[in-house]
Structure 1
Amino acid sequence: MTGVTANTRTDPLTLDLLEALLEEQQTLPAVDRFVQQQVHDGRHDAAQYYRDLIPAAAPAAGQQYAFEVNLDACSGCKACVTACHSLNDLEEEEHWRHVGQLTGGTTHLPSIRHVTTACHHCVDPACLDGCPVEAYVKDHHTGIVHHLDDQCIGCQYCVLKCPYDVPVYSKSKGIVRKCDMCHQRLEVGEAPGCVQGCPNQAIRIRLVEQESILEASETSQFLPAAPDPGYTLPATRYKSSRPLPPNALPADYFSVQRAHAHLPLVFMLVLTQMSVGAFVVEQIVYSYFTWFQEEIAASVRPLHLTAAAALGLLGLIAAVFHLGRPLYAYRALLGWKTSWLSREIVAFGLFATASSIYVCGACSPLPELASWKSALAFLGFAASATGVLGVFCSVMIYVDTRRPCWRFATTAARFALTSLLLGIPVSLLIMLVGTRSDGITTSLLMSQYGRPLCRAILFTGVLKLLIEASALLHLGRRQHTPQKRAALLLTGELGMHMFRRVFFGVIGGLVLPVTLLAEQSLQPHGYHPWFVGTLTTLMLAVLVIGELHERYLFFVASVAPKMPGTPAI
């Protein structure tokens, strides 16, 4: 029998690979090594074992506790997440620690690093500065940032302020909660739950110099695509014996997630800005009316002011529904020194007071004395000024979060134009209703005052749509910036919402004002009262719906840099 001799020569590269694989099989996984250390090696002094993972001494002056994460040791098993969840008795959907991935490298030499992240106990915590009720305290001795659950009212502003998505809102409790580094355990020499739960000892507690944190933030070297560390000065240290590849990015970097809608705030912002806009327009228009047609101002002003004040009151009531513990809302004045939310509450409180007094004064049957007119003019100015101040504070609430999509110029323009875009048709509609019983014709009212107001609506509506559409220009950018991700949301997942917003904006801010302006040329006998009234009412309703859509998109498309693996807030 003739046989064929097989080639028994083996490629040296294949042998090296086989040897490497066989050697890897001799290495125990993390859990088995942990069991071997605890049982087979006779290590029964678990307290001493875990005590080696925390500092032996308390922080000295200028030092604080900080998490240290070894990226080489973290395997992404999420034992730290489970330990934290179990030890702190968290709710099912509540997580104080997250695990993500950093990926990069090349097809021939890929790189994957697992990253575990929790509260960074920053040197300058944004949550503490933004909290309106002073529910956050940074321990001067340990550097741990504590959250006072009993003080919290559930406004969730810290959720927006924290760039690392650390605070978590609990619907059942109506408050926000966060990691406190298991400070009770540290006080008695025990390791935190996440440190003790990691089988690879990838998480430790270290003492760090706060001055060194400030120096390190100058280079902006924290984690790839993470929020700028210069904002809050996070204390967590990530170390690795292998340098990250230049193209390392979070595994979820290119995913686009919508943020929370905050619906009560959507209604609060639109209604309060409509109210302020109505008061500002009242100051401008009725000063003009008083000069030319004083009888119009006398008959319409009480109705106008009452409607404007009612809108503001509805907006403030809507804001209460955003609180988890509304009965403690009075505490929100405590943080006025650092929190723009507290300042907004103060400003709108002054606005509500001034506008209420102004409405009562305008509706009172007091004699038309010169001194009373001067006092009424001052009250009108005070109501408008405090309202504008409240809108400015609303702008700063979101600008102060430092989200790229909420920059001052665009946010201020959008809020101010909303005030005018809704305040003008409110004034026009009330003028049409209030003058019907005074013998003033609709043609006279529209020709002298209605047409300029329609032109103002047309200009404001077009300008606002152009500003909102400018966000889509980021689609052409090569870098996957937060603004580009927001534009991708607006044209993708939120595309139908964006379409409806543009549709209502075009109809209410362009088509209907143009129709009102052209109605005089279409009607040989002038403006028809029912036609003008119906169109004005429809215009106001459509504009309100459009602005509610715009403010909804303002929140859900507010993409911001985040830590690997953390959800969008």
Structure 2
Amino acid sequence: MIEENVTPQKTASTKIPAADDSGVESFDPAKEAVGKEQEGRSNHWEVRTQEQSYAFLPDQEVKEENRYGKLIDLVDLTGLPKERPMYINENPEVGSNPNRNKQHGFFFTADNCIGCHACESACAEKNETPAHLAFRSVGYVEGGSYPDYKRMNISMACNHCDDPVCLKGCPTRAYTKHAEYGAVLQDPETCFGCGYCTWVCPYNAPQLDPVKGRVSKCNMCVDRLEVGLKPACVSACVGNALDFGVIENTPENREQCKTEIPGFPTPEITHPNIRFQQTRTLPNEMTRTDSMPVKYHRNEKGQYKPAIDQKAGKAKHWNFKRLNSRENPLVLFTLFAQAAFGVFLIPFLGALLGIEALSSFVASDMFLPLTVTSLAMTTFALLMSVTHLGKPMRFYRGFNNLRHSPMAREGFGLALFCTGCALTSLFLLPGNEYLVTAVNNVTSIDLVLLTQGLPLDTLVTGFGIFTLLAGAAGLFYMNKCYQIKARPFWNHIQTSTAFAGNSLSLGAFIGGIIVLSTLTVQGKAIDTATAVFASVFIFGMLIEALGLIKHSYDLNRSENEGGAAHYIQSTTFGKTYIFRNTLLALNIIAATSLLVLHLTGTNDAGLLVAWTLLALVNCFTAAIGRALFYVLVIPTTMPGAFFWRNKGFEQHARDIGLADNPSSGVAPLH
């Protein structure tokens, strides 16, 4: 995924003032050399004369491949020219680092980390991040019992992975993996603040700023690397816990080069460029001090794997208020988009399959209002997705990464669905008797004359099929957006069954109202059409229910973050979860009974009222289910501290007003 460096970003840097400005002694290594280490270096960074020897990158022998079989020399991998400028701070000069085209990475020695947070401070100072953001943060896990109680600190930033899922997921192409140092860099000015990269990254590296409405992240301090200096966080580490260099090179006085330690998500998701040493004996079970219901248990191979930590107890609660979240626009977006597809799908596909009642409806004037309804619902859904963005006016950038991003493909598919609905409606206009009459009465335009000679029926059928295919593609990639390895609660077939089930059940409700009322006014039999919509309605709820059963079965036996999310679902939202599932089950039973009554010849007004009530209940259960879907998910995240990066503390700070103090590190909700 290494792309040609088109240098869209401006790497952050802190320029040390010259001596005549503020008295801080500095020099330009391009003009003078002070010490052997600094000879011949370029002038991207004014290197202080006080810079210690440990702050400089060593020139070591480099291996050909990393442990995943990936070439370390990235120029050999890409065939790009070696001497390319990175335009750091708009400077076209090429750095003097002899290993600038090799994949670099961090080395963290957990035994040495004392949790002083100097790395955090140095990073924040260099990148001028606000209090509620940190490109590097220190969390910890602890375990054991007195007097043998141990704590292990973990300092973590972006790992500049071999397979950066943030780059593939970003719809705006704000990310680039550079052949220089293998750095995964992100341009905040290109970003429109969707936050999808924060979903797919297992390591909390991309930081979504709710104040500025955009994402930013660690840039590997490439400006320092160009002059042979290690990143600011590494140079500031007082315990010699952080080191940096060409990947797979074990630093001096180290004996291990592991790919994971307790609390670190599986490296198989992205192949991160970080290595660890942790030699001290730890207890078999390590817990987190934050509110996340996850702990880490050592298996027979000596590896620490996530397990559920029942911090919230086993009592069940309602917590309806907590269903309200920042993702509310996405709740509306997904439900409306799925329902809109179902509204168009059922009658049009039924007509293609030769169902007489639905063929009669599609041939009637009311097929135009149904298509327009589907168009309006999808337009509203897309509007909701835009309001979720940090920079809504940049929504057009969402199609920049169609090559890789499922989110870009989702938006493109739904945009094509809207286009298909609009074109189908356009060619339905001349055949709509009521509309033609109204236009003739108001204007001198003769729609029939304008379209004379056009194969309108063929065009309507052709664009209708195009609309179905575009909508199916949009919903397919909507599902792919949530099949994320970093979020096991979503990465399950239940996501697919919920999306498909809601599309059918909600589409059957809205489409059924339009179709059945039209056939009734026309004096045509509605028995067949009622049976079709009722069957689709029941089938949609049934596949959603089967997905929920499978989901519960799998996550009850899971010890990863998906199981932890299900634990929260069964406790913190336990009563709400049971209520939703009970309503869904009763709805399926009641709807099946009504369908049996209908098929045996019972057709009265009371039956239609009952169908309407069941459909409204289904809308309610779908809304609850989708809100739970967003609120519950627990990512494969890095451990936080008691205050910093602790969702429980953030909520407490907002409840008591502490969040009003910017130094608390809790961002205001916008």
What displacement does 1:80 show?
2.4
Q: Aligned pair count?
A: 509
Paired residue for 1:548, among 603, 613, 623? 623
Cα pair 2:161 2:272 within 8 Å, conserved? yes
Change (3 A) 1:271 1:494: same
Higher helix share: 1
Structure 2 counterpart of 1:494: 573
Query: Which residue of structure 2 aligns with residue 237 of structure 1?
Result: 275
For 1:285 and 1:231, the matched residues in 2 are separated by: 42
Pair 1:176 & 2:215 matched: yes
For the residues of structure 1 that align with 2:172 and 2:529, how far apart are their CA atoms?
Answer: 46
CA contact (8 A) 2:159 2:274 kept: yes
Counterpart of 1:291? 356
Is 1:164 the counterpart of 2:166 in the alignment?
A: no
Match of 1:35 in 2: none
TM-score normalised over the length of structure 2 = 0.69
Query: Which residue identity is paired with 1:472?
Result: S
Deviation of residue 273 (structure 1)? 0.8
Query: How is 1:151-550 mapped onto 2 (pairs within 5 angstroms)?
Result: 151-209=190-248, 221-242=259-280, 247-248=285-286, 250=288, 253-254=294-295, 255=309, 262-287=327-352, 291=356, 295-297=360-362, 298-365=364-431, 371-407=455-491, 409-440=493-524, 444-445=525-526, 447-474=527-554, 476-477=556-557, 480-506=559-585, 508-511=587-590, 514-515=593-594, 518=597, 526-528=603-605, 531-532=606-607, 534-550=609-625
Cα pair 2:141 2:288 within 8 Å, conserved:
yes
The answer as to whether partners of 2:171 and 2:398 remain within 8 angstroms in 1 is yes
Distance 1:127 1:151 in 2: 14
TM-score, normalised to structure 1, is 0.80
Contact 2:420 2:466 in 1 (8 A): yes
1:52 aligns to what?
54
8 Å contact from structure 2 (residues 494, 544) kept in 1: no
Conserved? CA contact 2:501–2:542, under 8 Å: no
Which amino acid is the alignment partner of residue 285 of structure 1?
Answer: G
Deviation at 1:517, TM superposition (A): 5.2
Q: Which residue in 2 is equivalent to 1:27?
A: none
1:138 is matched with which residue?
A: 177
Deviation at 1:510, TM superposition (A): 4.1
Shift of 1:383: 0.7
Find the aligned partners of 2:357 and 2:332 in 1 and give their Cα distance: 37
Deviations 1:15-62 (A, max 9, x none): xxxxxxxxxxxxxxxxxxxxxxxxxxxxxx985554413414536276
Amino acid at match of 2:638: M
Give the deviation of 1:568 after TM superposition.
7.0
Counterpart residue number, 2:33: none
8 Å contact 1:136–1:146 — kept in the other structure? yes
Q: Is the 8 A contact 2:565 2:632 kept in 1?
A: yes
> What stretches of structure 1 of length at least 5 have no aligned partner?
1-44, 213-218
The alignment-based identity, stated in percent, is: 25
CA–CA distance in structure 2, aligned partners of residues 527 and 369 of structure 1: 45
Taking a change above 3 Å as real, the CA distance of residues 499 and 534 of structure 1, as seen in their structure-2 partners, is same
Contact between 1:101 and 1:112, CA under 8 Å: does it hold in 2? yes
Mapped to 2, the partners of 1:476 and 1:543 lie a distance apart of 26
What's the offset of the Cα at 1:130? Answer: 1.2
Shift of 1:225: 4.8
Rg: which structure is higher?
Answer: 1
Are residues 1:117 and 2:156 paired? yes
| 2:247 counterpart SS class | strand
Cα distance, 1:157 vs structure 2: 0.9
- CA spacing shift, 1:507–1:340, aligned 2, 3 Å: same
Residue identity in the other structure for 2:549: A
1:63 aligns with 2:63: no
Three-state SS of the structure 1 residue aligned to 2:266 is: coil
> Which residue of the partner structure matches residue 301 of structure 2?
none
Q: What's the counterpart of residue 12 of structure 2?
A: none
CA 62–242 in structure 1, closer or farther in 2 if over 3 Å, else same: farther
SS of the equivalent of 1:435 reads: helix
- Aligned-pair distance for 1:196? 4.0
1:3 maps to: none
CA offset at residue 281 of structure 1? 0.5
Q: Residue 391 of structure 1: CA displacement?
A: 0.4
- Aligned to 1:473, the other structure's residue is in SS state helix
How many Å apart are 1:230 and its aligned residue?
A: 2.3
Contact 1:299 1:434 in 2 (8 A): no
Aligned partner of 1:489: which letter?
I
Q: Tell me what 1:5 maps to.
A: none
CA contact (8 A) 2:492 2:551 kept: no
Quickly say closer, same or farther: Cα 1:312–1:117, change in 2 above 3 A.
same
CA RMSD of aligned residues (A): 3.3
Cα distance change of structure 1 residues 312 and 225 upon mapping to structure 2, 3 Å threshold? same
- Give unpaired runs (5+ residues) of structure 2: 1-46, 60-96, 251-256, 296-308, 313-321, 432-447, 649-670
Supply the AA of the counterpart residue of 1:152: C
- Cα separation, 2, equivalents of 1:136 and 1:537: 48
